[in-house]
Amino acid sequence: MALIVQKYGGSSVADAECVKRVAQRIVATKKAGNDVVVVVSAMGDTTDDLIDMAEQVSPLPPARELDMLLTAGERISMALLAMAIANLGHEARSFTGSQAGVITDGAHGKAKIIDVTPGRIRAALDEGSICIVAGFQGVSQGTKDITTLGRGGSDTTAVALAAALEADCCEIYTDVDGVFTADPRIVGAARRIPRISYEEMLEMAASGAKILHLRCVEYARRYNIPIHVRSSFSQKEGTWVVDSSDIEGHEMEQAIISGVAHDRSEAKITVVGVPDKVGEAATIFTVLSEAEINIDMIVQNVSAASTGRTDISFTLPASDGQSALAALNKLKERIGFESLRYDDRIGKVSLIGAGMRSHPGVTATFFAAIADAGVNIEMISTSEIRISVVVAQDDIDTAVAAAHRAFDLDAEQVEAVVYGGTGR
């Protein structure tokens, strides 16, 4: 008998019909002889509706109370889901994050999980119950206030519970069939990736693939929890996110490249005319870090000998753009830079694949494909298993399609190469 943790997102439980369909899937898993723990998000637009209500009473609601408000969303969906399962003749019990033992720090709105003590879940499982747990929420250590985990929180709840319960796997249900080699809306020939390593999935997530959140993959990697990303609207196998040793050992002909990700949510700031002195770059990024702004890519041009000045460009979430500009402008005198340039019409295209470590020429092929498509590269950054380039936002689709084709990822071409292994 396996223990399976399933997570259903808001679109999977958007209305009563959806809730009933999900209940059937859960009961089927139970009937197949498994213990089942389900993590559920708030229904459809509930969270947005609650935020609207908060804005109507206060322009800047206290974070503690916003968390108290938002956690009403999962309370509703989890109780309804438990009712729908009971209506199918199976015992189901719902638990808040606090009841499920999800202990967090006190950072309201973006709490981190410190510990999971699922004693009540285990007891309910032992009594034969299906357990429904509210995603996205926990209770703070010490003060015992209700907290929310922030973006991707429900996925993280699911993986954290799977780890604490030593579950056999964690199924993340979504509205697509799994992780694809590129966004199918851009590349019609994009294929589902049957198996991918945690590291590649992390790079995919960091590069704009929205299907799994960074935190959840990091958690799964740390505790070695296999994640199965699949659709709640079909019975198809999805994508398994697993330890790299579980891939390379089984698949004889590992794909060089897993996929092409893209991200439209970033902006680029260029600090023009920075005096080329030791420590200026450090000052700039210390200030941005103090303003809690996450920097992604950084490029520093070679200093022009004639002026002794240089330009520093970096990318960041466009939503942080205005606060970053404000923070830097306060520093203008101290650093003595000339001006700031801001561009939010950019995009990032990333090539991800553990195989590129051992295959020379990947970078050259990638740049050539983009150049041949007539797209100009503005910035470049690389890691062991990823190459990212910044291009004009209008060029993203062209660049993604070109890279996808250049690495033989299009479905009709590469079945033999990429599915070379045994799969699962």
Give me the residues that bind a second copy (CB under 8 A), please: 16, 19-20, 23, 50, 53-54, 56-62, 64-66, 68-69, 71-73, 75-76, 78-84, 86-87, 92-94, 96, 99, 120, 144, 146
Q: Where are the beta strands (DSSP E) in 318-374?
A: 339-343, 346-352
The residue among 80 and 255 lying less far from a second copy, judged by its C-beta, is: 80
Q: Minimum distance from CB of 43 to a second copy (Å)?
A: 9
Beta strands 379-383 and 309-317, pairing class:
unpaired
C-alpha separations of 423 from 11, 173, 354, 407, 408 in Å: 29, 20, 17, 20, 19
- Interstrand relation of 346-352 and 259-263 (parallel, antiparallel or unpaired): antiparallel
- Shortest Cβ 95–a second copy spacing (Å): 9
As a whole number of angstroms, the distance between CA 189 and CA 28 comes to 33
Task: Confirm or deny that 185 is annotated as ligand binding.
Answer: yes
| 344 assigned binding-site residue | no
Angle between helices 214-223 and 198-206 (to 10 degrees): 170
The answer to whether 192 is a known ligand-binding residue is no
Residue 245 belongs to what H/E stretch?
Answer: helix 245-248
Q: In whole angstroms, how close is the CB of 31 to a second copy at the nearest point?
A: 19
Measured between alpha carbons, how far is 71 from 259 in angstroms, rounded to an integer?
35
Question: How many CB atoms are located within 10 Å of the residue 387 CB?
Answer: 22
Instruction: Tell me if 8 is assigned to a ligand binding site.
Output: yes
Q: Is 259 annotated as a binding residue?
A: no
User: At its nearest, how many Å lie between a second copy and the CB of residue 50?
Assistant: 7
370: phi > 0 → left, psi -120 to 50 → alpha, else beta; which? alpha
Q: Which is nearer to a second copy, 135 or 273 (CB)?
A: 135
Which CB atom, from 16 or from 32, has the smaller least distance to a second copy? Answer: 16
Give the CA dihedral 373, 375, 381, 386, nearest 10 degrees.
-30
* Closer by beta carbon to a second copy, 49 or else 338: 49
| 74 known ligand binder | yes
Instruction: Compute the least distance from the CB of residue 124 to a second copy, in Å.
Output: 11
47 among the known binding-site residues? Answer: yes
Q: Which is nearer to a second copy, 144 or 345 (CB)?
A: 144
- Give whichever of 232 and 388 is closer to a second copy, judged by the CB atom: 232
- Enumerate the known binding-site residues for ATP: 7-10, 174-175, 185
- Enumerate the known binding-site residues for substrate: 47, 74
- Enumerate the known binding-site residues: 7-10, 47, 74, 174-175, 185
